[in-house]
Structure 1
């Protein structure tokens, strides 16, 4: 892809993403339902690629979001405050959820984990709220806060050193979206774009040998910026390993 085509693609992504970052001050009306899950958790095969991590992050208070909010995977990991609007069953604070999947039905923007759905209720009225199945809600995008974590990523289990590298972006703080990931190729003195496979998973066939330096294209309140990780992936990287980029996003 040449530079002009890459720039055009990024501009299109920004136009699509702009409404998401306007949600931090205003609530938006929508609807929400919940997963039919025997263990009260979310789907481990979600479109973000988080697997079991996507069921347990944020104490299991997670949600699948509409295709519009999912935005081809860029919306994975976004945090929202969601509160229902059925007095007297609903609490004022509602619930804080992390987007780990996509899906919609009955005009919903959120398919909450059963645990998250119940948290919208006032104490003692959870069963009544569950009985509605689908409820009117209002929501806003809020900053993600992961105590003790910077931007963290995991080498996907399907990676195979040195022939194939895939990474899964796990923690992204603040109100920020990862638009792209690139790997530095020292021999050619250039950055190589990783492919967004799906959700929060990016990959590269035949990555450069040796330690790998990554940079992330971040879209947030400061606009669009490339942020380079000062922590390189070691040359002997293995599938399943997790690395802290040492990039702090606020």
Structure 2
């Protein structure tokens, strides 16, 4: 067997191991608090750039992650199953779980100890959940609770969404409502007068490139964190405008 064949076999086995490990992921320990939703931090803002989370379909089931889990925004859109454990006073009886989508970053506070207010300080693993999601696993009067978490596949309705922004020579797209991994690893865009152009992560799930795509129908190639690639052709028509959102294909469940 030649070098090329060995390389291909290695990549296939590596990908298979990643998928199996992802499906059978064990519970890990962390802590969780809830955000003050009245400020809108988990409803209309967030470090992932989704904007109004109800319109983005993430709604009340959203969470901000500490530095080590947020990983500079690469985990935006990922889904975690969380359950409250080992606290008779604050945990809901039976330890029910809730699935949340990563929409925000829980900033560290190095002026406080990791045990007294600096819950999102590196390298602590912490979830700042929306009040509604937190209430499904613990009592809202609780300050901080011990939890267990694991990555799960994202259940989404409809296709991936592409929201346009930028200017004549700076094109940016926000990608949301991503199924399965939920986590976008790479993006390419193609106009009717261009080849496939790789995009760079600007912030969160906003991807950009320096190119003028105006008056061209646009196609997108999206690669998830597990290596799956999905191509949506002619998602946006030639007369698309900045601020508009278009729907493409969706990753199919295994």
Q: TM-score, normalised by structure 2?
A: 0.75
Task: Quote how far apart the aligned CAs of 1:205 are.
Answer: 2.4
Contact 2:69 2:125 in 1 (8 A): no
Q: Which residue of 1 aligns with 2:133?
A: 116
Q: Which residue of 1 aligns with 2:161?
A: 152
SS in 1 for 2:154: coil
RMSD: 2.9
Contact 1:145 1:174 in 2 (8 A): yes
Distance 1:55 1:87, change over 3 A: farther
> In proportion to residue count, which structure has more helix?
1
SS in 2 for 1:70: helix
Task: Quote how far apart the aligned CAs of 1:54 are.
Answer: 6.5
In structure 2, the gaps of 5 or more residues are: 1-10, 109-117
Q: Which residue of 1 aligns with 2:145?
A: 135
Q: Which has the larger radius of gyration?
A: 2
Q: Which residue of 2 aligns with 1:230?
A: 233
Contact 2:230 2:249 in 1 (8 A): no
Q: 1:97 aligns with which of 100, 104, 114?
A: 100
Q: 2:250 aligns with which of 243, 247, 250?
A: 247
Q: Does 2:218 align with 1:212?
A: yes
In structure 1, the gaps of 5 or more residues are: 1-10
Q: Which residue of 1 aligns with 2:88?
A: 87
Number of positions where the alignment pairs a residue of Structure 1 with one of Structure 2: 220
Q: Deviations over 1:40-61 (max 9, x none)?
A: 8626331101122268733412
Q: Which residue of 1 aligns with 2:201?
A: 196
Contact 1:83 1:90 in 2 (8 A): no
Contact 2:48 2:204 in 1 (8 A): yes
* CA–CA separation in structure 1 for the residues paired with 2:225 and 2:125: 26
Q: TM-score, normalised by structure 1?
A: 0.76
Alignment of 1:161-172 (within 5 A): 162-172=168-178
* CA–CA separation in structure 1 for the residues paired with 2:77 and 2:61: 12
Q: Which residue of 1 aligns with 2:183?
A: 177
